[in-house]
Structures are given as C-alpha cells and as structure tokens.
C-alpha cells in the first residue's frame, strides 16, 4: 500500500457520515406545570393549557452519525434503528396521552421535553450508535431539536 493510499484510507475511516430517518407519532398532551398557579399556567401555555388537552401528529427525525462501516458500507443499519425506535418510542407513545406516561409525571410534555425524552430513550437503547440529534416537528411551522449534553 502506498503512503498516499494509507493516508486516504485513514482519513476516510475517521470521517463521519450521517444517516437520518423519520417516524410518525400521534399523541395528545396538556401543557400544565404543577409548579405554577392556574393563572400562571394559562399565561404560559394559553389554549394548550385547556384541561381536555389536544393532539398532534408529530414527525420524529433521528439523525445518527459515524464512520461508514467498510464491510457493510453503512453508518447504521436501519433495521436496528427501526427496531429500537418502534419498541422504545412509537409503541410507548403512539395514540396515547403523553401526560399519563411516567416519564412525564414530573416533566411538562412540551415538544421540547418530548424531544429530549426520545433522545434519552434512544441513547440508552443504542449505546453503540452516535446520535447527532432528535428533532420533533409538532406542526408545519414548529420544530424542536435536542442533541444531548
């Protein structure tokens, strides 16, 4: 192997590539912080504080990063990613009221917090996979993104 070739190979192995995948999640929530008074809640969350809650069709985007595996040519096997996202996130939250999940017992289920919760669930489930970020689109105009610590 020529020196030029080995340098190129080392560079390629160190380089990061990205793989992202999107998932759909429908859930309802009510934004209400126990630490705030009823009036403060109404001011902070407006109609999202309505006691009956409301629903969203969230789009959850998971972006992973890593070197391209020289054997498989892939950053992450999408079958592995799908299995964990479906088991840990979609099956847990789809068509549920987020407020009733223990993970939101002490955490207001804003989309910021949903984003962080999904990131943490996946980071725990997939220690071998580097998560660049989890992004959650709540509406056509709103999205949130979380990258861990």
130 is catalytic: no
115 is catalytic: no
Q: Which is nearer to Ni ion, 5 or 34 (CB)?
A: 34
Task: Give the active site residue among 8, 54, 91, 95.
Answer: 95
Task: Give the active site residue among 48, 61, 112, 130.
Answer: 48
CA angle 72, 74, 80 (to 5 degrees): 95
Q: Which is nearer to Ni ion, 64 or 111 (CB)?
A: 111
Give the helix/strand (H/E) hosting 39: helix 38-45
The minimum distance between CB 7 and Ni ion, in angstroms, equals 52
DSSP annotation of 68: P
Three-class HEC string of 85-106: HHHHHHHHHCCEEHHHCHHHCC
Name the token pair of 83. 């299995």
Instruction: Decide: 129 and 137 in contact? Cβ < 8 Å.
Output: no
Instruction: Build a one-symbol-per-residue string for 46-75: x at contacts with Ni ion by CB under 5 A, - elsewhere.
Output: --x---------------------------
Q: Which is nearer to Ni ion, 44 or 48 (CB)?
A: 48
Contacts to Ni ion by CB under 5 A = 48
Catalytic residues: 48, 95, 138
């Amino acid at each position: 192997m020529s020196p030029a070739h080995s340098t190129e190979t080392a560079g390629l192995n160190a380089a990061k590539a990205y793989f992202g995948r999107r998932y759909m999640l429908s859930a309802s929530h009510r934004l209400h912080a126990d630490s705030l008074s009823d009036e403060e809640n109404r001011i902070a969350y407006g109609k999202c504080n309505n006691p009956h809650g409301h629903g969203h069709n969230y789009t959850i985007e998971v972006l992973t990063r890593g070197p391209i595996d020289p054997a498989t040519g892939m950053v992450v096997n999408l079958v592995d990613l799908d299995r964990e996202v479906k088991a840990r996130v979609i099956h847990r939250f789809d068509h549920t009221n987020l407020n009733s999940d223990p993970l939101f017992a002490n955490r207001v289920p804003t989309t910021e917090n949903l984003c962080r919760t999904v990131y943490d669930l996946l980071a725990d489930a997939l220690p071998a996979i580097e998560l660049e970020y989890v992004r959650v689109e709540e509406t056509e105009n709103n999205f949130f993104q979380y990258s861990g610590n």
